[in-house]
C-alpha cells in the first residue's frame, strides 16, 4: 500500500510501510538523464551523479560520505539512465535519519571542487573506454545508435571522450540549477517507517530547497526510416550481436503484452531462444532478450554471442523464433510465462530497495503508481490473440535492426537476412 504526499516545496514523497523488515531504503529519483542533454553536454547528467559523491560542504571528501553509510553497515549508490538519475541508500531503521542527511547533503550541498572535477573527468573517460573495449557492452551501444539515430536516446549515457573533455564547472552548475529542483524529484521510501514520520523527516531535511516553475524538456523521437545494419569489425573470439525492433512507450497499455511476449521469447533458461538456440542447436552460450519502455519510445532487443562462422545460421535461427511468435501461443506456455512474471514481481516486493524503486520509478516517469495486484490482473487478462496481434505488428522485416561487433565478413549477405 503506497502513500503519497507532495511537500510544500513540490517534492513528491511516496512511502510503503513494511513493518516486518529491519531496513529502510530511500531513493531520490531526479527526472533527468542523457536524453535531456545537448550534444555539447553529452554525459553531464552522469558526470554530476559521480561528482555528488566527491564531497559536500558538510562532508568534505568522498571517504567521509561513504564512511558515514558504510560505518553503520548500509549501502549507498547511484545510477544514470536515458531518462532518470537515481540516488539511493539502504540502512537499518535506527540509522535512517543519518541516511537521509547524507543523501540530501549530497544532492543539495555538493561542492563540485575543481580538482575533484578534473580527477573524476578522467574516471568517466576510462569508463567510456571500458565500455568500448567490451564487445558485449559495445554492441548494446551500437544497437541504440540504430534504434535512435542522430538523437540523444542513441548516445552513450556517459557521453563521449570529446564531450567529457569540454564540460566546464560553470556548465555543470548551470545544468544542475536547471534540472535539480524539488518538483522534478520523487523521494521514495520503503521499510519499517510510517508515512507521517517520513513526511516530517524529509520535510525538515529539504526545508530550504526551493521550487521552480519550469520543467526539463526533451527532444521527442519521431520514428523514421533508419539504417538497418551497423558492424564494428574486431578480432574477437566471438561475434556479438544485438537484433532489435522498436518497442512501446511507458504510456502504451500494450507494453505489458510486449513484456509477456519477451518472456516467452528470451527471458530465462526456459525461454524459446535459450532452449532452441543454445540447448538444441548449440549456437550460443549467452542469449537472451529484453524490453525497454521510455517516455515516447521503446525497444525489444535480443543479445547473443556466437562463433563467427555460425553467425548467419544463428541469425536465421533467431529470426525463425521471432516469426513463430506470430502464431498462437499454446495455453500451457502462456500460463508458464505469466507465472514467471507474477512470481518474480512478488519476490521483488520482499525487499525494501525493490519496493521503493518500484513505486518511485513509476511516479517520476508516469505520474502514477500501479500496485502489484493491478499488474497481476493486467498480466492474467492477456490473451494469446493479443500476443499474436502485437507480434504481427512489431515483428516485421522493415523494423529489424542488427548491430554486430567481431570478425564479421560478408556484410551484404547479412543485411539480406533481415527479413520476417
Q: Is the pLDDT of residue 3 over 90?
A: yes
Q: How far is CA 48 from CA 103, 292, 325, in A?
A: 14, 24, 43
pLDDT confidence of 412, banded at 50, 70, 90? low
The b-or-e profile of 203-223 (16+ CB within 10 A means b, else e) is: eebbeebeeeeeebebeebee
Each domain of the chain, given as residue ranges in start order, spans 2-205, 229-416
pLDDT at 289 over 70: yes
pLDDT digits (tens, 9 = 90+) for 209-218: 988 777 788 8
pTM of the model: 0.95
Mean per-residue pLDDT over the chain, rounded: 95
pLDDT at 409: 78
Question: DSSP secondary-structure letter at 212?
Answer: -
CB-based burial of residue 289 (10 Å sphere; 0-12 exposed, 13-18 middle, 19+ buried)? buried
Q: What is the mean pLDDT of residues 9-24?
A: 96
- Return the number of other C-beta atoms located less than 10 Å from residue 313's C-beta: 14
The answer to whether the 2-205 and 229-416 domains have the same CATH topology is yes
Proportion of the chain above pLDDT 90, given as a percent: 92
- Residues 94 and 298: their CA atoms lie apart, in Å, by 41
Residues 4, 37, 39, 49: which is the catalytic one?
Answer: 49
User: Is 49 tagged catalytic?
Assistant: yes
> 310 CB contacts (<8 Å, ≥6 apart)?
283
Question: Quick check: 419 pLDDT over 90?
Answer: no
- pLDDT tens, 55-86? 999 999 999 999 999 999 999 999 999 999 99
Instruction: Convert the pLDDT of each residue in 351-376 to its tens digit.
Output: 999 999 999 999 999 999 999 999 99
2-205 sits in which CATH class? alpha beta
Of the options 3.30.830.10, 3.40.50.970, 3.30.70.260, 1.10.10.10, the CATH number for the domain spanning 229-416: 3.30.830.10
Mean local confidence (pLDDT), 106-110: 97
What mean pLDDT do residues 370-383 have? Answer: 97
More confident residue, 413 or 117: 117
Collect all residues with Cβ–Cβ distance below 8 Å to 115 and sequence separation of at least 6. Answer: none
Q: Which of 104-118, 212-226, 280-294, 316-330 has the lowest mean pLDDT?
A: 212-226
Could you identify the residue written with the cell 530547497?
Answer: 209
- Determine which of 189-193, 215-219, 305-309, 403-407 has the lowest per-residue pLDDT on average: 215-219
**What is the rounded average pLDDT of the residues 302-324?**
96
- Per-residue pLDDT for 119 more than 70? yes
* 226 pLDDT more than 80: no
Is it the case that residue 240 has pLDDT exceeding 80? yes
Min mean pLDDT across 216-220, 326-330, 333-337 is at 216-220
Amino acid at each position: 500500500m503506497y502513500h503519497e504526499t507532495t511537500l510544500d516545496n513540490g517534492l513528491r514523497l511516496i512511502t510503503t510501510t513494511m513493518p516486518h523488515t529491519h531496513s529502510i531504503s530511500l531513493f531520490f529519483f531526479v527526472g533527468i538523464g542523457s536524453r535531456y542533454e545537448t550534444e555539447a553536454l553529452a554525459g553531464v547528467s552522469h558526470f554530476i551523479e559521480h561528482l555528488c559523491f566527491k564531497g559536500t560542504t558538510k562532508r568534505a571528501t568522498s571517504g567521509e560520505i561513504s564512511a558515514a553509510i558504510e560505518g553503520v553497515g548500509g549501502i549507498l549508490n547511484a545510477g544514470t539512465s536515458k531518462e532518470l538519475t537515481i540516488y539511493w541508500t539502504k540502512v537499518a531503521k535506527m540509522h535512517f535519519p543519518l541516511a537521509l542527511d547524507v543523501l540530501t547533503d549530497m544532492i543539495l550541498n555538493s561542492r563540485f571542487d575543481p580538482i575533484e572535477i578534473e580527477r573524476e573527468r578522467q574516471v568517466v573517460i576510462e569508463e567510456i573506454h571500458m565500455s568500448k573495449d567490451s564487445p558485449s557492452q559495445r554492441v548494446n551501444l551500437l544497437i541504440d545508435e540504430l534504434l535512435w539515430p542522430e538523437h540523444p536516446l542513441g548516445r552513450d549515457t556517459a557521453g563521449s571522450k570529446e564531450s567529457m573533455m569540454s564540460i566546464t564547472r560553470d556548465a555543470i552548475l548551470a545544468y544542475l540549477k536547471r534540472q535539480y529542483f524539488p518538483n522534478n524529484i520523487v523521494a521514495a521510501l520503503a521499510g519499517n517507517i510510517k508515512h507521517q514520520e517520513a513526511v516530517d523527516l524529509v520535510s525538515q531535511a529539504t526545508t530550504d530547497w526551493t521550487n521552480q516553475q519550469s520543467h526539463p524538456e526533451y527532444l521527442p523521437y519521431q520514428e523514421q526510416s533508419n539504417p538497418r545494419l551497423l558492424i564494428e569489425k574486431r578480432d574477437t573470439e566471438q561475434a556479438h550481436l544485438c537484433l532489435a525492433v522498436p518497442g512501446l512507450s511507458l504510456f502504451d497499455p500494450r507494453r505489458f503484452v510486449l513484456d509477456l511476449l519477451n518472456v516467452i521469447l528470451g527471458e530465462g533458461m526456459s525461454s524459446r531462444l535459450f532452449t532452441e538456440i543454445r540447448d538444441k542447436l548449440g549456437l550460443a552460450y549467452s542469449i537472451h532478450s529484453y524490453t525497454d519502455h521510455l517516455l515516447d519510445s521503446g525497444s525489444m532487443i535480443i543479445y547473443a554471442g556466437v562463433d563467427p562462422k555460425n553467425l548467419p545460421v544463428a541469425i536465421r535461427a533467431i529470426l525463425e523464433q521471432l516469426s513463430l511468435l506470430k502464431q498462437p501461443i499454446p495455453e500451457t506456455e502462456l500460463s508458464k510465462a505469466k507465472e514467471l512474471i507474477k512470481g518474480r514481481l512478488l519476490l521483488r516486493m520482499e525487499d525494501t530497495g525493490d519496493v521503493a524503486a518500484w513505486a518511485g520509478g513509476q511516479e517520476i516517469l508516469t505520474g502514477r503508481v500501479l500496485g502489484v495486484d493491478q499488474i497481476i490482473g493486467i498480466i492474467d487478462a492477456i490473451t494469446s490473440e493479443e500476443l499474436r496481434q502485437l507480434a504481427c505488428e512489431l515483428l516485421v522485416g522493415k523494423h529489424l535492426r542488427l548491430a554486430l561487433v567481431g570478425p564479421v565478413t560478408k556484410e551484404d549477405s547479412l543485411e539480406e537476412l533481415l527479413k520476417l
